[in-house]
Structures are given as structure tokens and as C-alpha cells.
Amino acid sequence: MIQVEGLFQSFREQQVLDNMSFEVGHGEFFGIIGPNGSGKSTLLRLLSGMDPVMHGNVLLKGKKVSSYSRKELAKWLAVLQQDALPPVGFTVREVVEMGRYPFQNWLGEDKTESDGLIDAIIIKLELEGLVDRTIERLSGGERQRVALAKVMAQQPSLLMLDEPTTFLDIGYQIQMMDYIRSWQQESELTVIAVLHDLNLAAQYCTRLMIVHEGRVTAIGTPAEIITSTLIAEVYGTEPIVLKHPISEVPQILLQPGK
């Protein structure tokens, strides 16, 4: 699905990404973790075609990302950011319908009958009671659900997440990630997620890549990546790592510095 080969990227003469290479297969839930400023969001912008690649290659479905038009990419690739909803005044249903833009002709008409699809997404994400409410009247968790509904309406085969749970409380974090994992499993969706919370990343991702100072430090399963030694090396603090009592994936406990 995705191949990254020898990727370098700089900003104002400062190296941001340094010789990154990795692959993501079809149907994976692939997590990208690392400290603030390590290049995670820059990498996601390159993978999604939002920024041009300076040196190296990003291949999506075997073709350079630069060979696709924005509208062509939007027919099968969606990006969910921390807060990517349009300005105030739009209702929830209007925002969800915006996800169909890549499939509209120049008259703004959808080539397919999408009302049933929109209705199904609204029901799935439990937004029925909010459809006529404008987005400025929603809570943070409700806004992220609407943002997720909008990208679901695109019916992508590849979804990229840029820290979608950062501003949510723990209940909404789990709800959001559960919705995404359910969608991923039902549709064989490929997901690439930049995540700040290491425990969430271990719970939901099948593989993790840890990025530090613009380089790939390690790639592997959560059990291979979430270790006291590796976390201490990259984050500068040594946590206690335990197995989750139900899922058995590694979870970290922070300990105060001495």
C-alpha cells in the first residue's frame, strides 16, 4: 500500500526527516510515535501528499504520491486531524456531506446516491440527535465524531490520523479509537496514525514505528517497541512497562524523576 524510500525533508535549512524508509501493508493499523518535534506530523503531510517530497520517494499503490491530483487522492485517501472542521455555521449533516466532495461533478452533484450512506454513518456514530445542530454548539468529543463521520463519507481505503485524540478526555479517546478500529476491521481499511499516547498506540496498532530526531529508531509490534529501555532512550524517562491484564499488550506507568 505504502512504500517510503530514502526520505529526506528540511525546513528553513533545518533537517526534519533524515533518510527514512519503511513500508505499510494493506489492512494494517500502523502507529507512528515519538517525542514532540521528532518529525511525525511532517512525515504524515508527505505521506498524504499535502507537502511536496524534496528528496526520496513516497509511493502509494506503487505510484509516486506527486503523480496523483488532490481530488484523485481524495477518492481513496482521507486525513483526520486534531481539528479539521470547517468554520462555524454548518450543521452536522452538512459537514458529513462535505466528505462526498471528491465524487461530485462541477455542478456539485454526487455521481452516486449518497443519502443512504450519510444516514448510515450518522447512525453508526450516534449522531442522530445532532444532525441539525451547528458545529460551534458541539463539545470536543462530538466535534471529533463529526470529523470522523466526514472522512467516513469519503469511503477511503487509506486513512491517516494526526493525533486525533489529543484534546479529548479518556472516555472520548477510547470511543474514537473504538470507532476507527471497528471501521478498519469491517472495511479492511489501512490506517496510519500519529499518536501521542503510547498506551493507546499499543492497544490499537498492529505495528509501531518510533521516530526520533527525524530518523526511524525502530519498527515492530507493540511488545517489541514499548520497552523500558527503548522508551528511556527516545523520551528521556524510564517508565515501568506492564502487560495489560486483558489484551496483554504493553502499557506504561510513569514514575517521578529522582
Joined together, the cell numbers standing for residue 107 give 455542478
At 195 the three-state DSSP class reads coil
At 129 the three-state DSSP class reads helix
Report whether pLDDT(86) > 80: no
Q: What is the predicted pLDDT for the residue at 111?
A: 57
Would you list the domain boundaries of the chain?
Answer: 1-76+156-224, 87-155
Residue 87: DSSP 8-state? P
Confidence of residue 58 (pLDDT cuts 50, 70, 90): very high
Where is average pLDDT lowest: 4-8, 138-142, 214-218? 138-142
Span 60-69, pLDDT tens digits: 998 999 998 8
Q: What is the predicted pLDDT for the residue at 195?
A: 93
Q: Is 146 left (phi over 0), alpha (psi -120 to 50) or beta?
A: alpha
Separation between Cα atoms, residue 144 and residue 148, nearest integer Å: 6
CA atoms within 13 A on the CB side of 133: 12
Report whether pLDDT(18) > 80: yes
131: exposed, middle or buried (C-beta count within 10 Å: 0-12, 13-18, 19+)? middle
Residue 245: DSSP 8-state? T
Report whether pLDDT(83) > 70: no
Report whether pLDDT(112) > 70: no
CA 63 to each of CA 3, 20, 119, 130: distance values in angstroms, whole numbers, following the listed order: 9, 18, 34, 40
Mean pLDDT of the chain: 89
Span 170-186, pLDDT tens digits: 988 998 899 999 999 99
In the CATH hierarchy, which top-level class contains the domain 1-76+156-224? alpha beta
- The residue ranking higher by pLDDT, 106 or 92, is 92
Q: Residue 7: which residues within 8 A CB-CB, separation 6 or more?
A: 17, 19, 20, 21, 43, 46, 53, 55, 56, 57, 58
Separation between Cα atoms, residue 149 and residue 99, nearest integer Å: 8
Q: What is the predicted pLDDT for the residue at 107?
A: 53
Separation between Cα atoms, residue 49 and residue 58, nearest integer Å: 9
Span 222-256, pLDDT tens digits: 999 999 999 999 999 999 999 999 999 999 998 88
